Structure 1
């Protein structure tokens, strides 16, 4: 069912000519899968819902591996999907929402905040910005970010491109206020 798996890792070492205290790594892992419901309306999307759990674990593990840190040190996460034109947005929702989060959180040793997500329809080469937010507290503004994912040959009409993004930190030199990492309680997913 998986046609392709790709992992992009970027490492930022300086910003505006200022070196970062330590490099910031961000990774986005993507798979291209066949859409079992392409070209037809199906009421029961449980096949995609269950597949979302499998892909969540696979993609998070791949992203953690390229970040080179333990899952417990991941600070931000996000997920996204692009459905080829023979599918519908609900196919992306089925993959991303009901079950994908649990295996990601298991590999990270937790994550009280909602996993930000994005979905869209498009053809080969369509880009999507995978939104990022702190895994334990949504109000940590230093971690509001996104990373772009795009594959030149995906998704084809009857495919879905699915992405999970993880980071080892927030934006370089954040200074717009908000909750700091040291203030996180991690109980309600907000603070």
Structure 2
């Protein structure tokens, strides 16, 4: 089964100044959101394989859109994240089925690798509700400068029988990060942690 997509939205957030300090280069986050029909809305279904397959499709599609929006090579991506909000006729498990079993592998292809787990969030909500997409370094989870998030909100999604799925990618860490620890430059990216 492929995703029945009603809408896709893509945008880039750039921070040029923070706390009165110039951020150069600007801290950039791209997010791509797909609003899809929930094939299992309003009913219990034991086998969620169809949603898992849709997750794989969306991991590639949304990951590619983020990289293109940033105008970078896939290997220049530094952090990533994923999130889903299911409408009221669905279940939280529908969001989990999209996000966890299969979305990560094609997202990693889109960003040129990724040894670390892809941070995620899921929730139930309605049109106009905010969905937080957590971010973490794609190769080394202990890189504190890349612990971040971006909000997404669409005024008309998700409707009761829909799921809003978001992927976010950055080409750097937080603006003016200074809490120490492992850095992007010193991370090895072999074990997903360091």
Q: Could you say which residue in structure 1 is the equivalent of 2:123?
A: 120
Distance 2:72 2:80 in 1: 14
Q: Could you say which residue in structure 1 is the equivalent of 2:105?
A: 102
Distance 1:139 1:171 in 2: 14
Pairs aligned (count): 191
Give CA deviations for 1:72-121 in whole Å, capped at 9, x if unaligned: 10101000000000000100000000000111111212100000000000
2:114–2:139: 8 Å Cα contact kept in structure 1? Answer: yes
Report the more deviating stretch, 65-74 or 29-38. Answer: 65-74
Displacement of 1:23: 1.4
Q: Could you say which residue in structure 2 is the equivalent of 1:159?
A: 162
Distance 1:60 1:36 in 2: 23
Report the more deviating stretch, 13-22 or 23-32. Answer: 13-22
Q: Could you say which residue in structure 2 is the equivalent of 1:8?
A: 11
Q: Could you say which residue in structure 2 is the equivalent of 1:53?
A: 56
Displacement of 1:149: 0.6
What SS does the corresponding residue of 2:185 show, helix, strand or coil? helix
Which of 174, 178, 183 is the matching residue for 2:181?
Answer: 178
Displacement of 1:161: 0.1
Distance 1:68 1:25 in 2: 11
Distance 1:56 1:134 in 2: 17
Distance 1:64 1:2 in 2: 20
Distance 1:144 1:3 in 2: 31
Q: Could you say which residue in structure 1 is the equivalent of 2:133?
A: 130
Moved over 4 A (4+): none
If the length of structure 1 is used for normalisation, what is the TM-score?
0.98
What SS does the corresponding residue of 1:28 show, helix, strand or coil? strand
Q: Gaps (5+ residues) in structure 2?
A: none
Distance 1:109 1:29 in 2: 17
What SS does the corresponding residue of 1:62 show, helix, strand or coil? helix
2:77–2:112: 8 Å Cα contact kept in structure 1? Answer: no
Q: Give yes or no for the alignment of 1:62 onto 2:53.
A: no
If the length of structure 2 is used for normalisation, what is the TM-score?
0.97
Report the more deviating stretch, 129-138 or 63-72. Answer: 63-72
Q: Could you say which residue in structure 1 is the equivalent of 2:27?
A: 24
